[in-house]
């Protein structure tokens, strides 16, 4: 190879932030120093090196710092945070490489360029964010609670833009005392309507409203009976209908292992797939003005018709599970069904409605139904295993936290079907029902917004949410199989690297160049007024490949934490694929896990398909061996 050949190297996230690192600057700089040694070996061999890098963890953390401090200093948008990370990661890479070059007395200078990349404003990723960034959040901080609050807030603002909506989170589902204390704080501050989503703690919220002479909204179950003079209505989950649907899937051998998201319905038992509805006003019917009732009915129909869409403030997605439909055969006879939950059947809401729904299945169809409540979190998996081992046909797990254990146990008991209510998991014999409760709370917010006399309404949630999660930012979350969440953002494809000529000039002048960090700052053309940043993160592998082609590089190398592309990865039969020749071999990208090897393989294939001589996926510590052809997976035209 001549001294004029250029290689573009894309540093994976492992080069900057290892799996168990906390994310300190010192940790990241130390990791970059380790990577610098192998890269300088290439420079010493007369390669012209251009570096790009990922920034997923860093840009997410930077964005959090902005969001958490916005009450003190103004926060910046995501594209500006991308520029920040290009700056500080570029600084670390330049410093580490320059130190290593100087130590070896190599007369080269390293420069980092804050780079922009044009993307298409209509790229489909803006409608379907998939790029994970930032840290992980625990399962207990789950997004549904905030969706419920957001629906309530949006409904109130929809009819009354000047209304103030306050919210608090208890960190306790089973303390009426805490619920009452939180509600009294809101009521004494002026709130004349209070919604709770707090299970047993919610009884205290209703008690406070009753004592203070303001209205309360019940949750999940019809809670009018708890305080007939205070509970104006409740948003109710038609759990009878949901459980019935789960049973019919099993009884008719039409089980689908996926996530169902039923929304609003006109009323209990109404035709359609919805399971969320508002309870009657009962004895308080005369307190609701006629024009408010008419407008509320109009809003209900508009929500059902999707003329009003209540967006999920925190949309939680999972990788699409494999869905298997059972082969057609005659329906089953009587089923053995188990209902299990960590809630209390005596709570008057969440647990009670589940128990009543299960007993209805027993009386309606004659199925054998076993019901167990108050199960500790530590006992969830053992209880599921016990029910499956006892030969139950269907186990209904009532609660979000049952999802991961259900999938785990389901693998060992393929003949038992599991349905997780408010879960976000799916597999061949595990389904979830995740009701769109925010459609119900939107209507409650609208009702409160039309009737409030103080222009202030309140909300009390049971879980303790991270302040960042419960803030004002509109965020999409991805639910991970390890029971945690991670923020996801749009990841559009690169169209043009704006600064490609400057990058090329720096290379020709003999510099080692760091460019397009984090995929580059995404910008769009707008109305002939120039380029403007958009909130997204471009995949660094695809951007690196695009950069390599635009500057005429002959080789493109992706460095990661494994030696290359494997068949049967993490199985006893795993083996390294050493070579892929595009004209000879077929690689099915869809079979690779999204967010791991998929984008890397796609980038390598694109590079050699579009004129590149060779692309490589290799381990960070074997970069020189990879370039010399003795390590990694190599792609050729």
The string of pLDDT tens digits covering residues 584-616 is 876 655 444 444 577 889 899 999 999 999 999
317-433: CATH architecture: 3-Layer(aba) Sandwich (3.40)
Helices (H), 214-336: 239-251, 290-304
Q: Are 373 and 356 in contact (CB under 8 A)?
A: no
CATH superfamily membership of 138-238+268-315+436-486:
Response regulator (3.40.50.2300)
As a whole number of angstroms, the longest Cα–Cα distance in the chain is 88
> Using 50, 70 and 90 to split pLDDT, how confident is the model at 178?
very high
Q: Are 28 and 17 in contact (CB under 8 A)?
A: yes
Q: What is the pLDDT, as a whole number, of residue 325?
A: 37
What would the mean pLDDT of 470-492 be, rounded to a whole number? 64
Highest mean pLDDT among 132-136, 225-229, 346-350, 525-529: 225-229
- The whole-angstrom separation of Cα 526 and Cα 532 is 7
Asked if the domains at 138-238+268-315+436-486 and 317-433 fall in one CATH topology, the answer is yes
Residues in the chain: 637
What percent of the chain has a predicted confidence (pLDDT) above 70?
A: 87
Q: What are the strands, taking DSSP E only, across 318-411?
A: 336-341, 368-372, 394-398
35-39, 105-109, 210-214, 468-472: the lowest-pLDDT one: 468-472
Q: Are 455 and 160 in contact (CB under 8 A)?
A: yes
Q: What is the pLDDT, as a whole number, of residue 193?
A: 98
- The whole-angstrom separation of Cα 294 and Cα 260 is 31
- If one counts every other C-beta atom within 10 angstroms of the C-beta of residue 377, the result is 12
pLDDT one-digit tens code per residue, 529-558: 899 999 999 989 999 999 999 999 999 999
Q: Are strands 215-220 and 231-237 parallel, antiparallel or unpaired?
A: parallel
Bigger pLDDT: 575 or 117? 117
Domain ranges across the chain: 6-134+490-636, 138-238+268-315+436-486, 317-433
> How many CA atoms, within 13 angstroms, populate the side-chain half-sphere of residue 202?
30
Q: Are 71 and 471 in contact (CB under 8 A)?
A: no
For residue 377, what are the CA distances in angstroms to 173, 352, 381, 483? 14, 19, 8, 13
> Using 50, 70 and 90 to split pLDDT, how confident is the model at 64?
confident
Closest-CA residue to 615 (of 627, 630, 599, 597)? 627
Q: Which CATH class is domain 6-134+490-636?
A: alpha beta
Q: What is the pLDDT, as a whole number, of residue 272?
A: 64
* Residue 37 pLDDT greater than 50, yes or no: yes
For residue 159, what are the CA distances in angstroms to 219, 295, 627? 21, 10, 63
Q: What is the pLDDT, as a whole number, of residue 31?
A: 86
* Residue 19 pLDDT greater than 60, yes or no: yes
Closest-CA residue to 148 (of 198, 186, 182)? 198
Bigger pLDDT: 485 or 543? 543
Q: Are 503 and 115 in contact (CB under 8 A)?
A: yes
Query: What is the average pLDDT score of the chain?
Result: 86
* Residue 197 pLDDT greater than 60, yes or no: yes
- If one counts every other C-beta atom within 10 angstroms of the C-beta of residue 576, the result is 14
Helix (H, G, I), strand (E, B) or coil at 619: strand
Which helix (H) or strand (E) segment is 27 a member of? helix 25-44
* Residue 256 pLDDT greater than 50, yes or no: yes
What would the mean pLDDT of 121-142 be, rounded to a whole number? 73
Q: Are 461 and 441 in contact (CB under 8 A)?
A: no
Q: What is the pLDDT, as a whole number, of residue 590?
A: 45
Q: What is the pLDDT, as a whole number, of residue 484?
A: 61
What burial class does residue 569 get, using C-beta atoms within 10 Å of its C-beta: 0-12 exposed, 13-18 middle, 19+ buried?
A: middle
pLDDT one-digit tens code per residue, 424-458: 788 889 999 988 899 999 999 999 999 999 999 99
Closest-CA residue to 447 (of 232, 260, 274)? 232
Closest-CA residue to 17 (of 178, 169, 134, 99)? 134
**Looking at the DSSP assignment, which residues form a beta bridge with residue 260?**
433
- The whole-angstrom separation of Cα 547 and Cα 543 is 6
DSSP string, 549-591: HHTT-SEEEEEESSSSEEESTTSTT-EEE-EEETTT----GGG
User: Residues near 485 by Cβ (< 8 Å), separated by ≥ 6?
Assistant: 136, 137, 138, 139, 141, 142, 143, 316, 477, 478, 479
Q: Are 251 and 335 in contact (CB under 8 A)?
A: yes
DSSP string, 337-350: EEEEESS-TTSSSH
What would the mean pLDDT of 221-245 be, rounded to a whole number? 94
pLDDT one-digit tens code per residue, 74-91: 888 889 989 999 999 999
Closest-CA residue to 460 (of 224, 207, 255)? 207
* Residue 479 pLDDT greater than 60, yes or no: no
* Residue 364 pLDDT greater than 80, yes or no: yes
- The whole-angstrom separation of Cα 403 and Cα 400 is 6
What would the mean pLDDT of 123-138 be, rounded to a whole number? 77
Helix (H, G, I), strand (E, B) or coil at 382: helix
Closest-CA residue to 577 (of 609, 594, 600)? 600
Q: Are 560 and 600 in contact (CB under 8 A)?
A: yes
The pair phi, psi for residue 624, each rounded to 5°, is: -70, -40
Q: Are 326 and 254 in contact (CB under 8 A)?
A: yes
What percent of the chain has a predicted confidence (pLDDT) above 90?
A: 56
* Residue 311 pLDDT greater than 50, yes or no: yes
Lookup: tokens for 446: 């609208």
- If one counts every other C-beta atom within 10 angstroms of the C-beta of residue 498, the result is 15
* Residue 250 pLDDT greater than 50, yes or no: yes
* Residue 384 pLDDT greater than 80, yes or no: yes
Q: What is the pLDDT, as a whole number, of residue 223?
A: 94
Whose tokens are 């004494």? That residue is 188
């Amino acid at each position: 190879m001549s001294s004029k050949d250029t290689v573009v190297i894309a540093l994976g996230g492992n080069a900057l932030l290892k799996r168990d690192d906390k994310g300190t600057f010192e940790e990241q700089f130390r990791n970059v120093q380790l990577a610098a040694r192998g890269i300088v070996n290439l420079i010493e061999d007369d390669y012209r090196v251009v570096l790009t890098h990922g920034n997923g963890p860093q840009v997410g953390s930077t964005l959090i710092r902005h969001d958490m401090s916005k009450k003190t200093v103004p926060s910046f948008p995501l594209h500006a945070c991308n520029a920040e990370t290009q700056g500080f990661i570029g600084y670390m890479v330049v410093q580490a490489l320059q130190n290593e070059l100087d130590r070896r007395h190599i007369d080269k200078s390293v420069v980092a360029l804050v780079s922009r990349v044009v993307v298409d404003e209509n790229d489909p990723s803006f409608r379907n964010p998939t790029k994970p960034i930032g840290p992980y959040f625990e399962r207990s901080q789950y997004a549904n609670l905030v969706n419920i609050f957001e629906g309530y807030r949006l409904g109130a603002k929809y009819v009354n833009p000047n209304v103030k909506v306050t919210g608090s989170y208890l960190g306790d589902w089973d303390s009426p005392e805490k619920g009452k204390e939180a509600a009294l704080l809101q009521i004494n501050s002026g709130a004349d309507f209070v919604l709770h989503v707090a299970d047993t703690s919610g009884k205290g919220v209703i008690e406070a409203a009753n004592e203070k002479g303001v209205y309360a909204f019940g949750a999940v179950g019809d809670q009018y009976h708890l305080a007939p003079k205070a509970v104006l209505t409740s948003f109710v989950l038609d759990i009878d209908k949901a459980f019935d649907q789960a049973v019919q899937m099993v009884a008719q051998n039409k089980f689908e292992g996926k996530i169902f998201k039923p929304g609003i319905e006109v009323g209990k038992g109404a035709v359609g797939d919805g399971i969320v509805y508002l309870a009657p006003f009962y004895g308080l019917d005369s307190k609701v003005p006629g024009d408010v009732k008419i407008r509320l009915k109009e809003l209900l129909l508009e929500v059902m018709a999707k003329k009003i869409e209540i967006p999920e403030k925190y949309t939680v997605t999972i990788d699409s599970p494999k869905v298997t439909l059972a082969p057609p055969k005659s329906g089953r006879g009587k089923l053995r069904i188990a209902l299990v939950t960590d809630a209390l059947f005596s709570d008057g809401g969440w647990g009670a409605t589940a128990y009543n729904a299960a007993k209805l299945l027993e009386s309606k169809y004659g199925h054998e139904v076993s019901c167990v409540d108050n199960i500790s979190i530590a006992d969830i998996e053992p209880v599921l295993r016990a029910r499956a081992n006892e030969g139950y046909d269907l186990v209904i797990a009532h609660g979000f936290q049952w999802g991961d254990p259900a999938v785990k146990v389901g693998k060992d008991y393929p003949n038992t079907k599991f349905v997780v209510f408010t879960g976000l998991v799916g597999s061949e014999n595990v389904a979830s029902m995740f009701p769109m409760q925010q459609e119900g709370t939107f209507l409650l917010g609208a009702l409160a917004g039309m009737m409030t006399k103080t222009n202030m309404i309140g909300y009390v949630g049971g879980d303790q949410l991270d302040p960042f999660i419960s803030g004002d930012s509109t965020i999409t979350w991805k639910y991970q199989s390890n029971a945690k969440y991670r923020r996801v953002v749009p990841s559009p494809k690169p169209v043009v690297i704006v600064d490609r000529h400057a990058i090329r000039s720096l290379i020709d002048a003999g510099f080692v160049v760091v460019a397009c960090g984090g995929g580059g700052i995404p910008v769009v053309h707008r109305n002939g007024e120039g380029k403007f940043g958009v909130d997204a993160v471009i995949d660094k592998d695809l951007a690196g490949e695009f950069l390599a082609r635009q500057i005429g590089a002959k080789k493109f190398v992706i460095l990661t934490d494994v030696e290359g592309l494997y068949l049967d990865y993490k199985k006893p039969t795993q083996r390294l694929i050493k070579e892929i020749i595009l004209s000879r071999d077929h690689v099915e990208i869809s079979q690779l896990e999204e967010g791991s090897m998929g984008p890397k393989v796609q980038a390598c294939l694109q590079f050699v398909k579009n004129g590149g001589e060779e692309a490589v996926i290799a381990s960070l510590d074997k970069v020189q061996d990879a370039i010399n052809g003795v390590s990694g997976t190599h792609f050729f035209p």
